[in-house]
Amino acid sequence: MSRRVIFFGKITADFTTLQRFHFADICLALDRHEVGDWGGVMASTEMENAAALACGGRVKSSYLDRQGRECWIITDKTQEHGGTIIVPAEW
């Protein structure tokens, strides 16, 4: 079992994201994000995530669902809400 590195509160998702992705894929992505597995982000984003974990700020991850479609999870403990799950084209 991996150790949680992020404790997020309320996660929101827009209607397009909820329609497009299977609920199990969303849950798996959230589980991975919570333990610091950022999925398919670039090395520069991994470095930004490390800094955000240390100092506070936004953490971004990118995952593919069972059909190869990408979703992002963005969390920020400095914001009132916990974060969002979004389709990159909607960002």
Rounded mean pLDDT of 6-12? 82
**Alpha carbon of 40 to those of 21, 26, 50: distances in Å?**
17, 15, 15
**For the chain, how long is the longest CA-to-CA vector?**
35
User: Distance of CA 19 to CAs 31, 38, 72, 87, 91, Å?
Assistant: 20, 23, 15, 11, 16
Q: Give the pLDDT confidence of 37-85 residue by residue, as tens digits.
A: 999 999 999 999 999 999 889 999 999 999 999 999 999 877 767 889 9
- Indicate the pTM of the whole model: 0.89
pLDDT in tens, 21-36: 999 999 999 999 999 9
